[in-house]
Amino acid sequence: MVAVLFYFYLVTGVLSSPDVQNGIIECPVNSTWLGKFSDGWSFMTDNTPMYLTRRTFNPDPKGRNLTACVSANTTRADNTTNEVEQTLTYYNLTSCKWLNFTKNYTAYSFYSNETVRNAFNSSIYDITLNLNIQALSCRFMFIGKPVTYPVVYTDHECLLTYLPYRGNDSVACEVWVKGSYFENSSETCCDKIFDQLCAPMAQIMYNATQCNILNDPAAPRAVKNKE
């Protein structure tokens, strides 16, 4: 219930404020309702890589940056069942190894009266990319209760998602982008909404220059840093 109320607050109350309407967020989102900008199906099912650029939380209990160069490739998408399968790849800074695992999602409408697919349930518990490294390197999966990723905003270049199960007393968010993001010197609309609505950034997860140096096979051609 808390997640539903907060998501409603995100997509209605905040963006209806005079400051936002007067242009603090200079992007396509200039109305009081984000509904038509939150259908994440096209972004998630595009067959080009997507990159996790930043998030508001660090799952490591000691606050260490153990994970870098997080990307995802969609390997299967079923428009009838609303199912998406992705391979997530990341670089572990402790073992200095590239690791990957499969993650499955089911898309649905967050509210019953909507037609957009603006939330994704994961079929495995999101244990974070940093923990259980030995198990992940052995390609084991840990099954647990599903978690939900409501989409706050998306367009052809980026997707901003809210993670209610990580929120606690703060607003946990992630920004995912396509390769074109690294060719553009300006911020995306996802970046601007992230700065406006989410908790302070805790981690930069994808630095194109660093990931190219680490020989990321999925690294975008452009290596401009956007920090």
| pLDDT the model gives residue 168 | 64
Domain segments of the chain: what residues? 2-150+165-212
| pLDDT the model gives residue 127 | 44
| pLDDT the model gives residue 15 | 44
Residue 189 phi/psi, 5-degree rounding, is: -65, -35
Find where tokens 């096979």 sit: 217
Distance of alpha carbon 75 from alpha carbon 98, whole angstroms: 19
| pLDDT the model gives residue 118 | 85
What CATH topology corresponds to 2-150+165-212? Lipocalin (2.40.128)
| pLDDT the model gives residue 85 | 95
| pLDDT the model gives residue 105 | 92
User: What Rg do the C-alpha atoms of the chain give, in angstroms?
Assistant: 17
Task: DSSP for 148-180, please give it.
Answer: EEEEEEE-SSEEEEE-GGG-TTS--EEEEEEGG
* 173-178 and 158-162 strand pairing: antiparallel
| pLDDT the model gives residue 97 | 92
For residue 184, what are the contacts with CB-CB under 8 A and spacing of at least 6?
Answer: 157
| pLDDT the model gives residue 169 | 59
Dihedral sign from CA coordinates of 200, 28, 82, 2: positive
Question: Do the Cβ atoms of 68 and 80 come closer than 8 Å?
Answer: no
- The DSSP element (H or E) to which 89 belongs, if any, is strand 83-92
Nearest to 222 by CA among 99, 89, 51, 34: 51
Distance of alpha carbon 190 from alpha carbon 173, whole angstroms: 10
50-73 in b/e burial notation, b at 16+ Cβ within 10 A? bbbbbbbbbbeeeeeebbbbbbbb
Residues of the chain with pLDDT under 70: 1-36, 113, 123-145, 167-169, 221-227
